[in-house]
Structure 1
């Protein structure tokens, strides 16, 4: 490794880079921490095991053994009193003691399941108790009450001797359980002490490693980087001819050389930056002019194209009224074609103009109650809805920040299409739903109409794209394209649900706060004037 001032040190370590030093240091630190961590984990596991054994086995086992002794003593007291007096009240403690003995013996057997010596002690106790009960307790208890039992007097010495063996077995059992509990408590204390020392060592080692790492980073990395940063700031201040002096470890010296190479490259490229900026300014101006021309074209359609089209339509309609039936059938057909074509052309131009106005003239962002907008739309379409016998239902709709005119156009196109493209002989049933989905509102418009073939679920959103002839269904094919433009303008998406086959289902989303869009105030002055006076 190199010194802070860049002078190489003697020895093999002089070739080490910062990365190598960090790798060796981190590897050594991790190895030591892993060793201590493994020791700490073992100590914790050992502490938990001993503590669990002490709390869940040793202490409850001793307590249960004492209760077992109490139950057996109650039996002895009761059977002795019954044998001497013949009074039936003395038999109750004996029988209660039998039940308690059985319960405590079962509990103790469960606790000592993994303790072979403990099970042996319990077996000795049970054998002694069984012998006493067989030879003395049960025969005396079987005697009729009312008079002292001759059997109790006869076997008094034998019964005392048998019960002394019971006492001795109980005493040995409890002494061993106490010794086991004491040993477990001592093991727990010793393990806890070891655990504390291990974690203190881990903490001290972490502090030592942190201090060593901090000092190593300060000497080997921070100081050279501070010098490199100072020289970089000098260059950033405008002194591009200031050369960077390599310093620090080998890799930082290489970094300094690469930064200095970048400085020289930037100096070479600086001469070209002004020319590139000028070219970008020229391209931006050209793009702005092109956009203004495109905007102007949309409004020219409402004046320069509408006027001659109205004249053609008017005169062809005059020809139709004046000469209808006076010429041959083919002439009448030609006139009908001309009138129909002029009318369709006017509708297409108006629809195209409406399409171009989305996001331009109609961009009054405000709080919009979609319930109110939908109600107003249904009122506008009431004649078509009544003629079709349509049934329309909807969920409660949210309030958004949006353009109210565009929202009205959206609902009018969606509901109008659902009413228009109905099955022959089947009244339309239209359902509108709305639910919150993450940061957007998700809407569906479902009908029972003729539906949309899977091959056309994307084409229906293309402007002037029609799936049926004009004789079958009227319209210009711009409705869903306008819906798509309105929805995307408000930060959402729209699509046809291909899995719904009982009609058509359109799914679209709207953002509660749509992105900013270009409004009339940002258009060129001449274009804005045309927009304000457009029909």
Structure 2
């Protein structure tokens, strides 16, 4: 989450709110409160249900008591048909709590007395069950004496007290739940502060470690898991710092050793060429001045000495190039591979014409590489194709490019000698010859591999029945560590020879 500028107060306030909302403390409190609200909701609902059932049970007990009172009080006046006394009793019943009306019917169903009801000539039917949402509960009970029914009393009870009791219970439950939630938030905030404060310290420390600062570590005392984690984090930071220091020392030693080895190899290769030149010169001088004293066998020995000395000189020269490629970091830029290939083709034009070569160059892409290194690779591969060509056949060399996931695969295919399948793994090693009588030094392919690898690519030989198919991969213009530098449009080369054309 990016922190806004200091001057934008609204953005900073929003950023602080989002930061707090994303914090572990806020999530712990929010999840705990939500769980508690859910549990309290279930508890309140269950409590209200139980209390409602208890109220209904109390109402049922009261109904049974009223039915007994009605039956005892009204059976005498009903038998005696003393309706005046009955009306007085009904007026007395209206003073009972929640009683709204009382209607008495005789055994034949005639209304003989009523009180409290707006008489419409129709007796309200008895409700099958008590519903607190209805304003009046209509009930009926028989008037009996010694198991003989003399009539029926209909009465209505107000449910307002039930609704008030339910509302009071709901209000009390909600108030209690609200107070409990508020206290829980306060307690959880305090606990969350003490619990997450140390986690925030660990988080800050881990961020600093990720940024490379291994010197600071949280000092958290205790025996709980957080303190143990802090101790492990301190130990890890110390171990990483120690390992980095060791790696830095080893890297410096390795660089110094590589530089020394490269210097020794370069100096050795340079100084060994001087005695080789002397061997070649004096061998040739001996062959010219004392030709009459040498027989055919001696002259053959001298030619072998001269040939092998020249070969060793070529090996030393290429060894110097290999050491230079191994110890030099070349800049990576966006280059036009077609222009590099055209420059190499121009330099190799005489050798290709001497070999009567037929060259096909496909459309080349732009890649992220070093132009000089790429040209050296192409130069070596074309040299190899010319040197190891079949003497009876015309050399055919095709250069093509194919897009890969994040780079390009360049293929150089010829009809010369084929590398054996069992040697494909070591084909690019030092002093590996395709054919001893053709290879000049045995370092050219190893140098190609070194140059391609230094540019972040790879090189390999595809198995084929006839000829050689050398391929190498280079990253495209979006490759790693590639400076966006436009490639040159003009290049020295034969007029009319462009990528995608045949010379």
**TM-score by structure 2 length?**
0.51
1:259 paired to 2:223: no
Q: In the alignment, is residue 422 of structure 1 matched against residue 399 of structure 2?
A: no
Task: Work out the CA distance in 2 between the residues paired with 1:383 and 1:420.
Answer: 14
Offset at 1:262?
Answer: 3.5
User: CA–CA distance in 2 between the matches of 1:405 and 1:241?
Assistant: 52
1:493 to 429, 445, 458: 458
Cα distance change on mapping 1:273 and 1:401 into 2, 3 Å: closer
SS in 2 for 1:431: strand
Give 3-state SS (helix, strand or coil) of 2:293's partner.
coil
Question: Is 2:219–2:230's contact at 8 Å kept on the other side of the alignment?
Answer: no
Q: Secondary structure at the match of 2:397?
A: strand
The answer for the alignment partner of 1:502 in structure 2 is 466
Max Rg structure: 2
CA distance in 1, matches of 2:329, 2:198: 55
Structure whose residues are more often helix by fraction? 1
Pairing of 1:147-296 with structure 2 (within 5 A) = 222-229=192-199, 242-245=219-222, 254-259=224-229, 261-262=231-232, 283-296=250-263
Partner of 1:155: none
SS at structure 2 position matched to 1:358: helix
Aligned pairs for 1:296-307 (under 5 A) are 296-307=263-274
2: CA distance between counterparts of 1:232 and 1:373? 54
Q: 2:347 aligns with which of 368, 380, 391?
A: 380
CA distance in 2, matches of 1:387, 1:233: 71
Task: State the alpha-carbon separation in 1 of the partners of residues 339 and 203 from structure 2.
Answer: 60
Q: Does 1:348 align with 2:315?
A: yes
In the TM superposition, what is the alpha-carbon distance from 1:225 to its structure 2 partner?
3.6
Deviations 1:103-138 (A, max 9, x none): xxxxxxxxxxxxxxxxxxxxxxxxxxxxxxxxxxxx
Between 1:329-338 and 1:437-446, the stretch displaced more is: 329-338
> Once the 2 structures are TM-superposed, how far is the Cα of residue 439 of structure 1 from its aligned partner?
1.3
Post-superposition offset of 1:264? 8.5
The Cα offsets for residues 403-461 of structure 1, whole Å up to 9 and x where unpaired, read as: 22212111112222223322342212221111321210111112222322211212211
Q: 3-state SS of the aligned residue for 1:488?
A: helix
| Aligned equivalent of 2:407, options 440, 444, 448 | 440
Describe the SS at the equivalent of 1:462: coil
Shift in Å, 1:376: 2.1
Whichever structure has more strand as a proportion of its residues is: 2
CA contact (8 A) 1:362 1:403 kept: no
Q: 1:483 and 1:321 mapped to 2: Cα distance? A: 39
Q: Determine the C-alpha separation between the residues in 2 that align with 1:234 and 1:428.
A: 67
The secondary structure found in structure 2 opposite 1:433 is strand
Structure 1 segments unaligned to the other structure (5+ residues) = 1-17, 33-210, 247-253, 518-535
Q: CA deviation at 1:465?
A: 0.4
Aligned residues: 302
| RMSD (CA atoms) | 4.3
The answer as to whether partners of 2:344 and 2:375 remain within 8 angstroms in 1 is yes
Task: Tell me the secondary structure at the aligned position of residue 459 of structure 1.
Answer: coil
Question: 1:256: how far off?
Answer: 2.5
Query: Hey, what does 1:198 align to over in structure 2?
Result: none
Cα distance in 2 between the residues matched to 1:244 and 1:427: 82
345-354 or 448-457, which moves further after superposition?
Answer: 448-457
Whole-Å separation in 1 of the counterparts to 2:376 and 2:251: 34
- Quickly say closer, same or farther: Cα 1:337–1:262, change in 2 above 3 A: same
Matches within 5 A, 1:15-34: none
Classify the secondary structure of the residue corresponding to 2:427: helix
Q: Secondary structure at the match of 1:465?
A: coil
Q: Indicate conservation of the 8 Å contact 2:368/2:474, yes or no.
A: no
Cα deviation code 1:458-492 (max 9, x no counterpart): 2211111013222xx24222222122112212211
Structure 1 pair 303–352 and aligned structure 2 pair: CA distance change class (3 A) = closer
Give the drift of 1:274. 9.1
TM-score with structure 1 length normalisation?
Answer: 0.48
Contact 1:464 1:478 in 2 (8 A): yes
SS in 2 for 1:460: coil
- Specify whether residues 389 and 215 from structure 1 end up closer, same or farther in structure 2 by C-alpha distance, changes over 3 A only: farther
Residues 362, 406 of structure 1: 8 Å contact kept: no
In 1, distance between residues paired with 2:187 and 2:381? 66
Q: 1:92 is matched with which residue?
A: none
Check 1:388–1:280 CA distance in 2 against 1; reply closer, same or farther (3 A cut).
closer
2:448 is the counterpart of 1:483: yes
**How many Å separate the matches in 1 of 2:395 and 2:200?**
76
Give the distance between the partners of 2:303 and 2:428, measured in 1 at CA. Answer: 31
Supply the distance in 2 between the matched residues of 1:411 and 1:234 (Cα, whole angstroms).
Answer: 52
Work out whether residues 433 and 442 of structure 2, in 8 Å CA contact, stay in contact via their aligned partners in 1.
yes
Deviation track 1:349-398 (CA, whole Å, cap 9, x = no partner) reads 00111122226558254443222222222222223322322111111112
